Structure 1
């Protein structure tokens, strides 16, 4: 005989079967999922703030202290009489500029009655080396560093002077390296060419360098925004040519290095660099004349003379020792005028505009 089970039995409510056609509440499910994701994201952010990933923007200075942006070049606190330092900062300012314009002219100097070139201009010798101003005879750049212009279709005040004989400012005796200075000689100039350089990092090409001779010969040089160097000319070059790989002459004449090449050569080769004093300089532009309060520096150095060989279609570059110079730099540190005279009878005037 079995004993009947008399233990209490829990009352379990009967579950009603689901209604036909009923569906789960998807809005509630979606809300739950979103809340979970928010919790996870909040935890990740908190962890990053607490631990950090050790990365920092590449344009910020390294170091254990607060991160700071590297300062731009400035002549603030630099004594203008410290010629080397002041010109050095000026060079950095030009190299860090996003835009500028340079106008220049190249000319022969008749040096009659003076040692080093009595009675001759030595222009024939200059042409024989293919170095004078871009002509069809192979002379494109008798002048150093800045002899060929860029950018605009028409040179804008290239080499214009506000004093003197219209192409070169009159030399001041205070800045002459010696009594036989080419800068202080009475000269008669025969223009070999005029040019213009335009540099603007917001454009393509970003560097344009155009040089023209009086007979209409022209050389155009460019630096594209991606860095390629390109040139074309009336004679010697078959259309537009990509300079790949570029040589030293190409890099000098076809890139923004053109603007500071002479400044760097002054710093590295001049042994008689002298601060002369303050002078007011007026630069002639397309529509107006702009005056600048400047510091004047003089001396001799080994200049660079760019050119173009119409026979080969190549750019050329020559070092010219003993070139006398006068350099005017404004109070903010930007170069405004550079005048060069070499013993072989070649002169140049460069004027700097529109820094940005």
Structure 2
């Protein structure tokens, strides 16, 4: 049965659940009139209580340029194209990646992560360490970060005071962070060609796929996550310099990021077809 806000004072008790929508509509209408009459600068003053931005106030009829998507940008201009590609991933309503992590002399670790805001978990991250320990990390709406592991934790554990590593590895920032760091720190960036790449099958029924993608190379700084079974803690290692290869398809969607540090540490992320 729908509920309504309780009435106070002389408000009519017959007003139903649509009342809050009516107030919201009125507010949006008033804001819209403010924008039309006085430009964005005056609307900013009305909403924020401050003075309009002088630069905006001088041109009340000026409008913002339309949002540019990565697929509409020039792939031969790597800085702009890759920045827009990172934005495409960040704005995607859901995504699914699989990845591997390799260290010289320690073998290969692997895992996958998915982001589905309408599911029970806003973010789910599975990782099997180099020593074979399975780790499960979650971001649960209304609860926060939760994780469990075959070794080091007593069971499903709520991270009441999450560390920097917890916040990175238990949230969408695990997937979004590397691309943001690449676009923010890349040097010697160049486009080296266009080619087909094949993504392997992912978990949860994600099919293998083939994509025509632009290939970019350069160096960048990033953070690499891990899990320490002896302490039951997530960890982050700062990679000061790593050589990378990044493939972005013709629609501007990242498809694969692979990098290796001078010390022999490397990761490869496969970005399976996005839901847009």
- Quick one: distance in 2 between partners of 1:196 and 1:59? 44
Residue 179 of structure 2 aligns to a residue whose secondary structure is helix
1:86 aligns with 2:86: no
Number of the residue aligned with 2:136: 220
Number of the residue aligned with 2:15: none
Flag the structure with more relative contact order, 1 or 2, with Cα contacts below 8 A and sequence separation at least 6: 1
- Quick one: distance in 2 between partners of 1:218 and 1:102? 17
How many Å apart are 1:252 and its aligned residue?
1.0
- Quick one: distance in 1 between partners of 2:97 and 2:206? 16
Number of the residue aligned with 1:238: 154
Structure 1 residue ranges without an equivalent (≥5)? 1-47, 110-120, 124-189
Answer 1 or 2: which has greater helix percent.
2
Residue 167 of structure 2 aligns to a residue whose secondary structure is helix
- Alignment coverage as a number of residue pairs: 224
After TM superposition, the structure 1 = structure 2 runs for residues 1-356 of structure 1, keeping only pairs within 5 Å, are 55-56=27-28, 63-64=35-36, 74-109=69-104, 121=105, 123=106, 190-191=107-108, 193-213=109-129, 216-226=132-142, 228-285=144-201, 288-356=207-275
Output one character per residue of 1:213-247: Cα deviation in whole Å (capped at 9) or x when no partner.
46541110001123611111111112111122322
Answer 1 or 2: which has greater strand percent.
2
Output the aligned Cα RMSD. Answer: 3.0
**TM-score of the superposition, structure 1-length normalised?**
0.57
- Quick one: distance in 2 between partners of 1:227 and 1:272? 42
- Quick one: distance in 1 between partners of 2:231 and 2:99? 25
How many Å apart are 1:295 and its aligned residue?
0.9
**TM-score of the superposition, structure 2-length normalised?**
0.72
